Structure 1
Amino acid sequence: MTTTSGTGGPIALSARALGPDLARGWMLLFIALANTHYFLGAGAEVRGGFPVAGSAVDHAVTWAISTFVDGRAFPMFGFLFGYGVAHIVRRQGDRPRREVRHLLWRRAAVLVGVGLIDGLFFYVGDILAMYGALLLVGAWVVFWPDRWLLVTAALFFVLNALPSEGSSSVSTDRPDPSMLPPDLATLLTDRPVGLAIVALLGPLGFACPALLGLWAGRRRLLERPAETRRALVAIAAVGVPVAVLGAQPVALVLAGVTGVPDADVLDLIGPLHDATGVLGGLGYAALVTLVAQRLEARGRPQGRVVGALAAAGQRSMTCYLLQSVAWAILFTPFLLDLSGRLTVATTALLATAVWAGSVLLADGLARRGRRGPFEVLVRRVTYR
């Protein structure tokens, strides 16, 4: 039987900290913006997932997304994922480590299962299976000493920051058939390979923020902002500006402000964009937590907007999967096939509308006192 409170089971919705949920709800918008522009440019020249041709408005939106969103939203979710795992482990109290690992493996199994279904039939870039694969190993890592967590996180950060070819932030690859399958047969034959690549190699890029999330979760950094305010201010003050500045060499190229540099320079600025994005993800989490702390300090009930965003954060898996269904319907060539009709700017508006719809749905569930269906599934499998 799944418990809703007390040691060991999932925490009651009313007892959750506002900061992490508000961060998840807001960052779901950034996830939508980060995913959708990769559907464009099937028949045109692209760089970093953005069509090179476009209006001044398209170029301005390209600059904004590559500066504030791409490579910044997903590390934040990786950080919050590790933070949540630390929370689960802490609630197990003195239970034997073997039992805790089995609990985490059950959670990993349902993430992998749901992620593979989502990736096969809806959105091939699904990250749930990747998180599940990361947790399969993380079930051992959660018991590491703090020093090991930080050293390993630093190692992955350095490896991802080294000059290399193939950074998605500067890639000229167009959407392939696995992303925009012309028919159902191509979908079923081409997507398994892409799913395997994302699930197995993706954890290498998300290991650093996830490990830092584990470390921060042990200290309840986001749950006690009044006590950890100084650290949160420092993380936000460093992480966000560094991410913005570190994005500019790529963002200005993608927006057409500067010319495309030589391949050797691209091999430098691509990893720079990605590495500083990790710091930006941490900065975003800290910044939203500080905002949540300010709202709670007022002593007034949450407003409709804040409550709806928090509700989406509490049901982030359901909202994320709703996005996948929307992308499948809107962009798949044998369905609505909008990928060739939209621009960067109009795609951003569409992504915002889909996110807003998921927030309204989550708010409706919250008002009826119901969890999201996929949150219920994860909890039932995890806690039996």
Structure 2
Amino acid sequence: MKLATSFTGARGVRYPAPDVARGFMLLLIALANVPTWVYLSRSSTPSADIVDTVWLWARTLLVDRRAYPLFALLFGFGLATMVKRRIASGTQGYLQSLPGVEAGCEPTPQQEAWAREQATVDARRLMRRRGLWMILFGAAHAMLFSADIIGTYGLAAVFFGGWVARKHWRRAAILSVIITAVSVVMMYNLNSFLASQGLNAVEVVRRGADSSTVTPVSYVFNGVTSWSGTTLMTVLASLVVPAMFLGARLADTDLIAHPERHRRLLAVVGVGGLGLGALGGIAIAVRATGGPLIIWAISFDRVAGLLSACGWLALLALYAGGPREGGGLTGLRRLASAVGRRSMTAYLSQSLLFAAVFLALPALTGIELHLGEARTALIALGVWLVTVVLCVVLERSGHAGPFETLLRTAVARSERKRRLPAPPVASAVVDSDAYGLIR
């Protein structure tokens, strides 16, 4: 299988923009996740200096609660693209299996509708099967990192893969509005309650981490139980699903596939989305740097995060450009694309590297980490660069990411045959001119 094509077949040209965006997105993911590793390792944090303060502002306005909505947008786009190509190839396969095709008989409209319906069912089954395996991958990852997101997206694919396959966009829009409203209200009520107790969500996490002695067994157990308890809630009461649907809807346009055709629009969305998202995060940045807590701002920041994610996607698509003749990319685009094509491998590798730095290294050496915000950001950058090197090596040797290969193999081997309904029988039609000659 050539890396320049999608797994759905040689005809599916792989667009560079989603891959390049995923590659840079994983840098944002690393920057957003590293504070969690600091908490898990119980590392001490020195008082923030001017560099730490500047970085806290930048991270709050541009990264925190912005990276994962971008992940969800790209996941939805990839899901819809996969479904579209699988339905197209499956429809052709079913049409070729009809009796009389080898003799040159053209399929009837009823037979074409039958073939497309069977291909759609197959695509829906594929999405659900893939989602179930992603949940399993996420559970395994949660043993190391309880904030895993793979299982969340897998659960979303299981629940709503059929909607994407059948393009139930009206249902998706209604559900997205409901989920957004529920998320805003729940976040407001939760933080109002915590504020009445003199706490905030970060302090609750810290107190939970500091309240007991951590052993390898308890670490794994607590990670999996925490993950299992939050995964369903994240799907039903966060902006993951609305962002996923929005990304899937973009697959019906050429905004991401051919960004070179929409430069002005994408520039406006990019600058406007990041700008509005940053405005929505100002109150949170003030709180992060020692200012007062504004309860309603926490809920508003969630919506602002989705706006920022749209801005990031627009600008990264502009930077990546459209398909090139021969599929070749150069420079930083090529590096980011290599990572983006192996996003699961890069994401899981980040956790392994972070665990080595924040868990294994202190345990083996007895050295207590004492890191400021800016230094932890440099560690995140270093971790991302290591994954870049890993993915580039795999790219040059012509290999896909090992975890992508494992997922595809598991999905393919777990497929079960289903009983197909009989195709419509083509009725015999006699051409009137031919009938006249016979007569």
Query: TM exceeds 0.5?
Result: yes
* Pairing partner for 1:129 from 144, 151, 155: 151
Distance 1:154-1:232 versus aligned 2 partners, 3 A rule: farther
Deviations, residues 287-336 of structure 1 (Å, cap 9, x unaligned): 11011128x78999633322111100010100000011112222226456
1:187 correspondence with 2:187: no
1:354 correspondence with 2:396: no
Q: Is the 1:225–1:290 Cα contact (8 Å) retained in structure 2? A: yes
Comparing 68-77 and 364-373, the one that deviates more: 364-373
Q: Match of 1:284?
A: 312
- Within a 5 Å distance, the mapping from 1:233-382 to structure 2 comes to 233-256=267-290, 259-261=291-293, 265=294, 267-293=295-321, 302-332=329-359, 334=363, 340-382=369-411
Query: In the alignment, residue 80 of structure 1 is paired with which amino acid?
Result: L
SS at match of 1:96: helix
Deviations, residues 314-361 of structure 1 (Å, cap 9, x unaligned): 101000000111122222264567774222111111110000010111
SS at match of 2:218: helix
Query: In the alignment, residue 21 of structure 1 is paired with which amino acid?
Result: D
1:173 correspondence with 2:173: no
Distance 1:24-1:300 versus aligned 2 partners, 3 A rule: closer
Query: In the alignment, residue 73 of structure 2 is paired with which amino acid?
Result: F
1:152 Cα shift? 2.4
Comparing 311-320 and 184-193, the one that deviates more: 184-193
* Pairing partner for 1:139 from 161, 185, 191: 161
SS at match of 2:64: coil
Query: In the alignment, residue 79 of structure 2 is paired with which amino acid?
Result: V
1:148 Cα shift? 2.5
SS at match of 1:164: helix
Q: Is the 1:13–1:314 Cα contact (8 Å) retained in structure 2? A: no
Distance 1:140-1:337 versus aligned 2 partners, 3 A rule: farther
Comparing 140-149 and 30-39, the one that deviates more: 140-149
Distance 1:147-1:331 versus aligned 2 partners, 3 A rule: same
Q: Is the 1:149–1:215 Cα contact (8 Å) retained in structure 2? A: no
Distance 1:107-1:42 versus aligned 2 partners, 3 A rule: closer
1:41 Cα shift? 5.3
* Pairing partner for 1:66 from 60, 73, 86: 60
Q: TM-score, normalised by structure 1?
A: 0.86
Q: Is the 1:106–1:381 Cα contact (8 Å) retained in structure 2? A: no
Instruction: Give me the whole-angstrom Cα distance separating, in 2, the residues matched to 1:43 and 1:119.
Output: 16
Distance 1:117-1:339 versus aligned 2 partners, 3 A rule: farther
Q: Match of 1:10?
A: 8
Q: How many residues align?
A: 370
What is the Cα-based RMSD across aligned positions, in Å?
Answer: 3.3
Query: In the alignment, residue 18 of structure 2 is paired with which amino acid?
Result: P
Structure 2 unmatched runs, 5+: 89-115, 195-199, 414-439
Query: In the alignment, residue 31 of structure 1 is paired with which amino acid?
Result: I
Q: Is the 1:19–1:223 Cα contact (8 Å) retained in structure 2? A: yes
Q: Is the 1:41–1:340 Cα contact (8 Å) retained in structure 2? A: no
1:116 Cα shift? 0.8
Distance 1:123-1:194 versus aligned 2 partners, 3 A rule: same
1:233 Cα shift? 3.2
Moved over 6 A (4+): 2-7, 42-46, 167-170, 178-181, 296-300, 336-339
Identity between Structure 1 and Structure 2 (%): 27
Q: Match of 1:86?
A: 80
Comparing 317-326 and 301-310, the one that deviates more: 301-310
Instruction: Give me the whole-angstrom Cα distance separating, in 2, the residues matched to 1:214 and 1:228.
Output: 18
Q: Match of 1:39?
A: 37
Please identify the structure whose Cα radius of gyration is greater: 2
Q: Match of 2:436?
A: none
Q: Is the 1:153–1:212 Cα contact (8 Å) retained in structure 2? A: no
Distance 1:57-1:368 versus aligned 2 partners, 3 A rule: same
* Pairing partner for 2:142 from 119, 130, 140: 119
Deviations, residues 183-212 of structure 1 (Å, cap 9, x unaligned): 112123322220112321121311110111
Q: Match of 1:152?
A: 175
Deviations, residues 66-110 of structure 1 (Å, cap 9, x unaligned): 111000010000011111110011012224333222111221122
Deviations, residues 255-280 of structure 1 (Å, cap 9, x unaligned): 23xx214xxx3x20111111100111
1:253 Cα shift? 2.1
Query: In the alignment, residue 268 of structure 1 is paired with which amino acid?
Result: W
Instruction: Give me the whole-angstrom Cα distance separating, in 2, the residues matched to 1:369 and 1:44.
Output: 40
Distance 1:343-1:14 versus aligned 2 partners, 3 A rule: farther
* Pairing partner for 1:223 from 242, 254, 257: 257
Q: TM-score, normalised by structure 2?
A: 0.76
